[in-house]
Amino acid sequence: MSRGFSHVEDLKGVPRGPRSDAVLSRVLSACGDSILNVSRRGTTIRVALKAECFRKAVESIYSEHDLYFRTMAASDERLKDGVYKLYYVLGIDGEGTNVVLEVPAPEGVEISTVSDLFRASDWYELEAKDLFGINFSGRSLRRLVLPEDWPENLYPLRKDISADEIKSLYQPQMISQIAELGVEEVVRVPIGPYHPALHEPEYFELYVRGEKVVDARYVGFMVHRGIEKLAESMKYDQVPFLAERICGICGFVHSTSYVQAVEEALGIEVPERAQFVRSIVLEVERLHSHLLWIGVALHLLGYDTGFMHAWRIREKIMVLAELLTGSRKTYGINLVGGVKKDVNQDKVPKVREVLEQLKKEFSEFVGIAISVPQVMARLRGTGLLPRGEARAYALVGPTVRGSGLARDVRKDYTYAAYHYVSFKVPVYSEGDNLARTLVRVDEVFESISIIEQLLDMLPGGSVMAEGWETQPMKLGIGAVEAPRGEVIHVVVTGDYSPYRWRVRAPTYQNLQAVPTMLRGVDLADAPLTIASIDPCFSCTDRALIINLRSGSVKAVPIEVISRRGVRSG
């Protein structure tokens, strides 16, 4: 296997499948002496290669049918190695292995883009440029994460700049912009423009002809909170509490991903019972998240009765979460090495009772809701996302499963206690809003079954690892199948805190396909189509409609709309 490369670690005896062998061998053949190092830890093969060979390596493997671009983490490692590094995490679905291409990027050296090969890597490259100043050749670069008025040459995730320095160097220009617009009274409200379709910050420009959407553009990252930077100053066990606050709905998936990444990097053995507890809570979270989504989707379709009943049923799950963890939301039980709250055996019968009730009520409810004529008419055939596009964008979760791809981290890269249970991965091939809805409906039943199985098999023992030591500059990957799709965290360990923590939420991956889904839909179906990926931004929302006939396609602030409207805008 090493083909004469002395720096390639002998991988004999390490269990891995034929697919990772094939991928590795193609990379090694393509790069030859440009390979710096190859190592393996757990299910991850890490290939360090010179920047000049990176594109060649990707060209040799990108067309592999089961290779999936999971995430990319940029890291400022100048203090240690004198270079920035890019970690491209490529998953091999079905085999559960990762190939991590580690690309050193010396200051001033441009890295060849691979966004034309892995379409999903587009945003990752832009983000690496925004936050680290890493340049990519062969593509156009624009601001993605940082606001337009961010100072040039100020890269917030570099190690040589602190959060306080960033605060002193950047002041948002919003106030002066509003003043220029001639608004008489400026009131500081930290939410900004919003739109009732989604309750978080995002910005869609929908280009419409009549009521038909002909194209769409997305601009996001309006409230980039810099939590990755914040985590660099926190201790390992403080970060799970921060991670859980990434999402207001499914925060537990983030804390689990983070602790799994650290546990993998440091080789920490997590007790089995803790794995079971994590899995149970993750499924409880999926249940309430899916019911929340189904309710919101029905509201967007004007069927508010369905919305009310979905949330009424969801309430039982919130109470269940409180019973198990002490909190309805933001459970705060994950720690590196296990969980700090056990499932008390006395609670198990109550949990079973609630699940039984839930199964019955949800089954009745969903049968009625889906058969409402307007609901069915507007779900079927709208927001189409073909399987090929879903694969090209490396989409995740119910979004990809609604387009015929059975991608599910619980099966593909199994973690926690999922390998102990039997469950189906619902897949629909139609690629429309109905398919994505039905995936979630089926998943509710699967989650109930998973929790029941886990409760049946709940092992005894401790829920916390005995103790663990930190080791710097170890790479760990933690992935969880969140309700919206795969959440993946990449951690490069430091002495006391994560040296680099890269969070990739499923929406990051799925959002890039939304413009494709929006093309050709009616304006009325646009909110549902956007919502069909179950997007998770973080605060308010904004949609702007620009009529192509007017020729006006620029971004117009809400103040202008409210004062002048579309005619003069």
- Contacts with other proteins by CB under 8 A lie at 195-197, 211, 298-306, 308-309, 312, 372-375, 377-378, 522-528, 545, 547, 561-568
Measured from the CB atom, is 243 or 301 closer to other proteins?
301
Which among 91, 45, 94 is positioned nearest to 68, based on CA atoms? Answer: 91
Query: Considering the complex, what minimum distance in angstroms separates the CB of residue 187 from other proteins?
Result: 16
The dihedral through the CA atoms of 181, 183, 186, 191 has a sign that is negative
Contact predicate 335/369, CB 8 Å: no
Query: Considering the complex, what minimum distance in angstroms separates the CB of residue 308 from other proteins?
Result: 4
Query: Considering the complex, what minimum distance in angstroms separates the CB of residue 193 from other proteins?
Result: 10
The dihedral through the CA atoms of 438, 440, 441, 443 has a sign that is positive
From CA 316, how far away is CA 306, in angstroms rounded? 16
Measured from the CB atom, is 511 or 526 closer to other proteins?
526
Measured from the CB atom, is 125 or 541 closer to other proteins?
541
Burial tier of 449 (Cβ tally within 10 Å: 0-12, 13-18, 19+): middle
What residues does 204 pair with on adjacent strands?
218, 543
Measured from the CB atom, is 301 or 395 closer to other proteins?
301
Q: How far is CA 55 from the centre of its chain?
A: 25
Residue corresponding to tokens 């002395």: 6
Query: Considering the complex, what minimum distance in angstroms separates the CB of residue 560 from other proteins?
Result: 11
Query: Considering the complex, what minimum distance in angstroms separates the CB of residue 417 from other proteins?
Result: 35
Which among 534, 484, 474 is positioned nearest to 505, based on CA atoms? Answer: 484
Which among 530, 484, 531, 473 is positioned nearest to 507, based on CA atoms? Answer: 484
Residue 451 vs residues 351, 458, 553: alpha-carbon distances, Å: 9, 10, 49
Query: Considering the complex, what minimum distance in angstroms separates the CB of residue 528 from other proteins?
Result: 8
Contact predicate 48/104, CB 8 Å: yes
Measured from the CB atom, is 309 or 484 closer to other proteins?
309
Measured from the CB atom, is 457 or 553 closer to other proteins?
553
Measured from the CB atom, is 10 or 364 closer to other proteins?
364
Measured from the CB atom, is 42 or 565 closer to other proteins?
565
Alpha helices in 170-250 (DSSP H): 174-180, 227-231, 239-243
